[in-house]
Amino acid sequence: MTFTKVSALTPHKRMLVCALANACIAVMAVLLLDVFSPLYPANLRLMPDQDFFQLVGKVWAEGGVPYRDIWDQKGPFIFFVNMLGWKLTGNGYGIVIIECVFILATMWLLWLIIGTVNGHEHHPGNRKPIYSYIISMLVLWICVLWIAICLPGSWNMTELFCLPFLAASAWLLLRSLFAYQGHPTGQGAWRVPSSWAYVHGLAFGVCFMTRLSNAVGVCVGLLVLTALLIIRRLWNNLGICILGFLAGVATFFIPFAVYFAAHDVFYEFMYGTILYNLHYAGGLAAAGIPNLSTLVLVFAVPFAMLLAGIIRLIRHASITCYSIFLVLCAMMFAALFFKMFTIQTGSYLHYTVIDVVFLPSVLIPAAAFLRNKVSRIVALVCVTAVLLGYAGMRTYQVTTWSEFDNTWVARLVKQSQGSIAFYNMNAMAYTLNDVKPAYPYAVFQDWQAEFSDDLRATIIDSYAQPRTEMLVVQQYGTLTPIIDDILDTKYQFVRSVTDASGTYDIYRCRHSV
């Protein structure tokens, strides 16, 4: 009887059941692979970026204002998402819920991309064989596992919250390119709808409000579309698309700009979003080529895109806009990643996850090289299994990272009755002990000061007058704290503490001694 009921399901209902099953698996994947999920209630792993995003979100949720009450060199969208998470549940678990929403939206849009590429490569009829669905599903899960590998430990990163917008932009871009190839000059009108340009603007806008380098794929796509519009002399369409694109960018930028201007921190907002990062990019020193496994992960997708584009050019014996786009985009990704991974940030694989929206453009043609249907499925299953194992291994590696020792910190917080600040320390010192940052520059101060003389002076000025009874300073390498003169004149050294994550000097304000 059960088999009869299943076979009686309409294609639409079968797709709905399949979508729900995939959604449940995706949510479980986030819960299992994100150490900030409720499955890891005792997590104290040191993850500087995610810990600080949570702190800024908590401060914002409790009435503070980013860039005024707490500052970081990121665009505000990542803080906004973390604030919503804290508002949702009153703790960091709400952020994991939002992560699930964003990954599900990304999966849906990746599914649309897969369908678009499939339609272009194979021109299927209205009724697809079951093996096509299996192949599409495997391609989708390869993409999801690639995201997990690039975001080890936690999915609370700027790239994840850009992915739905980047995927939507990539989907519409591919549709535009394929439509252009299907409408040669003089054989029907080809246009780029203004609503599509608006979506491209949204994608660029969300990258602008997080990390501008996330918009590389969008920029290359817009460059190609602009060239195609100029070639066809579609000046009116080009003008309308420019307006639509700017409207999309403004949708993200204007609300934040108005909000921070109303709180008199517009310059600080722009400085943290753009200006500081120019100093940061220029101040990073070369650190040599990373190890082989990192190189493979970093350049796998750009290399595959480049190879796919070149093979298409050779096989079709003609230059197509789609092939040109693949080659250009691969070169831009490779150049960006090379810059990022030959500098001090060489272990930050999350920078590379933005290329996942173009992974179906590589996997589907690659699978098509195998003529036998079964061999295609077996090959994709093997790739999926390898990536699943690797994602699990990377999550296990995260669980071996150093933990934050909150025991002695909690005692200091109680002893000072909350009148305490932390210098160069992880943001968990504030979050775990429910301490409100007394200074806007609350974590990793000496590291931030390395890349900007202006920020260095601002941090020193901020700490010139003590605001708390106690100040705990973590040693940053062999460097002397930039506030060393202030420590000598305004504070009295109490004692040092050393744990697995470093050495800390505890100071008491002289007026309270």
Residue type at position 16: L
pLDDT in tens, 427-486: 999 999 999 999 999 999 999 998 888 999 999 999 999 999 999 999 998 889 999 999
What token pair was written down for 297?
């992960």
Q: What is the pTM of this model?
A: 0.91
Q: How large a percentage of the chain has pLDDT more than 70?
A: 90
What span, in angstroms and rounded, lies between the C-alpha atoms of 234 and 215? 25
Q: What is the mean pLDDT of residues 400-429?
A: 92
Backbone angles phi, psi at 419, to 5 degrees: -85, 75
Distant-in-sequence contacts of 447-456, Cβ < 8 A, 24+ apart: 447/476, 448/73, 449/482, 450/283, 451/276, 451/279, 451/280, 451/282, 451/283, 451/284, 452/276, 452/279, 452/280, 452/283, 454/279, 455/276, 455/279, 456/482
Q: How large a percentage of the chain has pLDDT more than 90?
A: 55
What token pair was written down for 65?
């204002």
Tokens 């936690």, residue located: 154
Question: Which of 390-399, 422-431, 476-485 is the least confident region?
Answer: 390-399
Confidence of residue 242 (pLDDT cuts 50, 70, 90): very high
Asked if pLDDT for residue 513 goes beyond 60, the answer is no
Asked if pLDDT for residue 344 goes beyond 70, the answer is no
Tell me how far CA of residue 4 lies from CA of 1, 161, 431, in angstroms. 5, 42, 54
Confidence of residue 345 (pLDDT cuts 50, 70, 90): very low
Confidence of residue 125 (pLDDT cuts 50, 70, 90): very low
**Start-to-end Cα distance in the chain:** 81
Q: What is the mean pLDDT of residues 227-242?
A: 93
Asked if pLDDT for residue 116 goes beyond 70, the answer is yes
Asked if pLDDT for residue 235 goes beyond 90, the answer is yes
Asked if pLDDT for residue 283 goes beyond 80, the answer is no
pLDDT of 1: 40
Confidence of residue 318 (pLDDT cuts 50, 70, 90): low
pLDDT of 396: 85
Residues in Cβ contact with 16 at an 8 Å cutoff, skipping those fewer than 6 apart = none
Cβ-contact 153, 215 below 8 angstroms: no
Crossing angle of the two packed helices 216-231 and 321-341, in degrees rounded to 10: 150
pLDDT of 2: 43
Number of C-alpha atoms within 13 angstroms, CB side, residue 21?
Answer: 8
pLDDT of 442: 94
pLDDT of 284: 55
What span, in angstroms and rounded, lies between the C-alpha atoms of 161 and 170? 15
Residue type at position 217: G
Backbone angles phi, psi at 401, to 5 degrees: -70, 165
Tell me the average pLDDT of the chain: 87
